[in-house]
Amino acid sequence: MNVKNTQFVKFVFNYIKPKIKLFIISFLFLIGLSLISLLPPYVTKLAFDEGIMMKNLSILTKYVLMLVVIYILKSTFNYLSSALFTIVSQNTLLEIKKDLTNHIIKLPLEFFSNSESGYIVSRFGEVDSLSPLFSMQSFKLILSIFEFIGAMIIMFLMNVKLTLILVLIIPVFYLITKTFENAFGKLTSQTMEKAATFHGKFQQSVSGVEEIKRMNLEDKETEKINKINKDYVKSSIKYSILLSVGSEVIILLSSIVSVLLLYIGGKGVLQESLSIGTYMAFVGYFGKLYAPVINWNLSMFTFKPAFVALDRIKNFFLKYPQESETSDKIKINEINMIEMKNVTFSYPDGKETVLNNFNLKAKRGDKLLLKGPNGSGKSTIIRLILGLYDNYDGEILINSIDLKKLSKRSLRSRISIVSQKIFLFNDTIENNIKIAGDVSEEKYETALKKSGLKQFVDNLPLKDKTLVGENGIKLSGGEIQKVAIARALIKSDSSDLFIFDEAAAHLDKETKELIKSFIDTELCEKICIIIDHSDYFTDICNRTINLMLKSNNWSEQNV
């Protein structure tokens, strides 16, 4: 067994193990089903030879009743095994999705920066392609080996020559399958990739539809989407044609073999070297002998997508390590000081250095204003303080402790952010504000007032139960910013560091004054980092850091 097969078996077993009892019960029903399935052809032979040919109605009646009982048992076992395997396989897929979801959400920001959200979602959907691995069909394939052996033994006992002819044709099926296997695997991977690319592009266009309309780019964007979709459809057509050709070749060969059985068996009956009952039994057992052969070969077309999907999932989602949150990480209950010492940083896919020997120090009560053109590293400083990137040179210290040794969860729980790029869920205004957890009504009402949202919410027909739409599409830019401010206000007691990233960019003067007053009075004992292009907050900040583009130079000014 090669390494890939070993990894596959290990992966499957890890998810089967917790449900092993249900799998065993389901498997036992399948064994019973397989044993029962071997009986009808032989009982049919007896009905012909001992009943019909001997003109014995009582014997014929006995075997007919026996067949009825066998078919009832067969249907019962088939239903029970099918129901159990459906329950087990769907719950197994659910566990895989839960594990993968947990892994994805905990991946570093680098992963999400390098992939479109629609592409990620499409790749996640490939998990459904794993379902055949845990289905009744996969276990039936295993059991079909025993049916094959059982049928072959019975057939050899009835007629060695005819059985030998049928068995010697079987290797041809294997050769046909191997001819198609590599091409089918490669085409499966290409089709999945093109599907993911299409869904990624389509979702990106839907998310940015407002900007597309503003810039009158509907036709151009539609052309791009249609081109990608056309490539996906072409690949899907090739995939379907190859699947159809491969399947039909195998089925055609099995049909030719059945015709060969008709000729040789019929000839034997005419020459009286084979009884009609034996021929009928051979016809019945032919399915038991060749069904496993056909199914094993056709399973390549069923299971190959699952193997390809498993490789793609591992190579895409699992190549990035999760953000480490091990037990040895130090948890903090407060932030008293932040310090960046000679920090140099470049994004993983970037060639230019964003920060070069950057220094920053802030303690409780400090209000820092970060200024500089776009691309000078202002937002990067925030991401580094949040621990979103670890691939920097120099030191970042929180309470004099190396950031890399800290629990990121405990760190981020002490930080409130009002970002220019705030994300809103398609939920109510209330739930978007209370997203961090339960909060008292008094605290919530205070946050509405101080953020400037109170009057706006009171004028809505559904008040704060109004849905904001996907990413706040039903709200204006200023209203979205106010929701972000309300979120931060709710965390004011549990946060030590407040970050305002262009928080006042879309607000009216009155709301700006509310924010300014909030920072100056209620956050006087907190650390505040304010990113702003204007000089609006200069008078409440005790230090200003000016960042410069490309030169990676910076200067600090005490006020």
Whole-angstrom Cα distance, residue 22 to residue 231? 43
pLDDT over 60 (residue 295): yes
pLDDT over 70 (residue 324): no
Q: Which of these ranges, 136-150, 325-339, 356-370, 431-445, has the smallest mean pLDDT?
A: 136-150
Query: Which DSSP symbol is given to 331?
Result: P
Phi-psi region of 418 (alpha: psi -120 to 50; beta: other; left: phi over 0): beta
Q: Model's pTM, two decimal places? A: 0.60
265 and 283 Cβ atoms separated by less than 8 Å = yes
Whole-angstrom Cα distance, residue 396 to residue 402? 6
Q: How far apart are the first and last CA of the chain?
A: 71
In 274-366, beta strands by DSSP E? 337-345, 355-363
Whole-angstrom Cα distance, residue 519 to residue 515? 6
Average pLDDT, the chain: 80
pLDDT over 70 (residue 4): no
Query: Residue 145 has which token pair?
Result: 């080996």
Whole-angstrom Cα distance, residue 452 to residue 503? 13
Same fold, 3-317 and 337-558: no
pLDDT at 154: 82
pLDDT at 330: 87
% of the chain residues with pLDDT over 90: 4
pLDDT at 326: 67
pLDDT at 199: 78
Query: Residue 502 has which token pair?
Result: 């262009």
Per-range mean pLDDT, top range of 156-170, 331-345, 518-532: 331-345
pLDDT at 205: 76
Residue range 46-75, pLDDT digits in tens: 888 888 888 888 898 998 899 899 889 888
Residue range 225-256, pLDDT digits in tens: 888 888 888 888 888 888 788 778 888 888 88
Per-range mean pLDDT, top range of 17-21, 257-261, 283-287, 475-479: 257-261
**In terms of C-beta distances under 8 Å and separation of at least 24 residues, what long-range contacts does 158-163 make, across chains too?**
158/278, 158/281, 158/282, 159/268, 159/274, 159/278, 159/282, 162/261, 162/264, 162/265, 162/268, 162/274, 162/282
Whole-angstrom Cα distance, residue 545 to residue 548? 10
Whole-angstrom Cα distance, residue 470 to residue 452? 22
pLDDT at 214: 66
Residue range 23-48, pLDDT digits in tens: 778 777 777 877 787 788 888 888 88
CATH number of 3-317: 1.20.1560.10
3-state percent breakdown (helix, strand, coil) of the chain, nearest 5: 65, 10, 25
Query: Which DSSP symbol is given to 377?
Result: S
The dihedral over CA atoms of 451, 452, 458, 462, expressed in degrees to the nearest 10, equals -50
Q: What is the mean pLDDT of residues 306-330?
A: 73
Tell me, letter by letter, the H, E, C secondary structure of 214-276: HCCCHHHHHHHHHHHHHHHHHHHHHHHHHHHHHHHHHHHHHHHHHHHHHHHHHHHHHCCCCCH
Instruction: Tell me the one-letter amino acid at 212.
Output: I
**CATH 1.20.1440.80 assigned to 337-558:** no
Whole-angstrom Cα distance, residue 346 to residue 142? 53
Q: What is the mean pLDDT of residues 261-289?
A: 81
| pLDDT bracket for residue 338 (50, 70, 90) | very high
pLDDT at 159: 84
% of the chain residues with pLDDT over 70: 89
pLDDT at 464: 86
For the sheet with 337-345, list strands across it.
355-363, 337-345, 392-398, 401-402
| pLDDT bracket for residue 7 (50, 70, 90) | low
Helix axes 136-158, 276-317, angle to 10 degrees: 150
pLDDT over 50 (residue 136): yes
Query: Would you kindly state where each structural domain of the chain is located, as residue ranges?
Result: 3-317, 337-558
Q: In terms of pLDDT, which residue wins out, 214 or 181?
A: 181
pLDDT at 1: 44
pLDDT at 65: 92
pLDDT over 80 (residue 91): yes
Residue range 410-442, pLDDT digits in tens: 888 888 887 767 778 888 888 888 886 777 888
| pLDDT bracket for residue 446 (50, 70, 90) | confident
395 and 342 Cβ atoms separated by less than 8 Å = yes
pLDDT over 50 (residue 487): yes
Whole-angstrom Cα distance, residue 465 to residue 423? 18
**In terms of C-beta distances under 8 Å and separation of at least 24 residues, what long-range contacts does 78-82 make, across chains too?**
78/33, 80/29, 81/26, 81/29, 81/30, 81/33, 81/136, 82/136
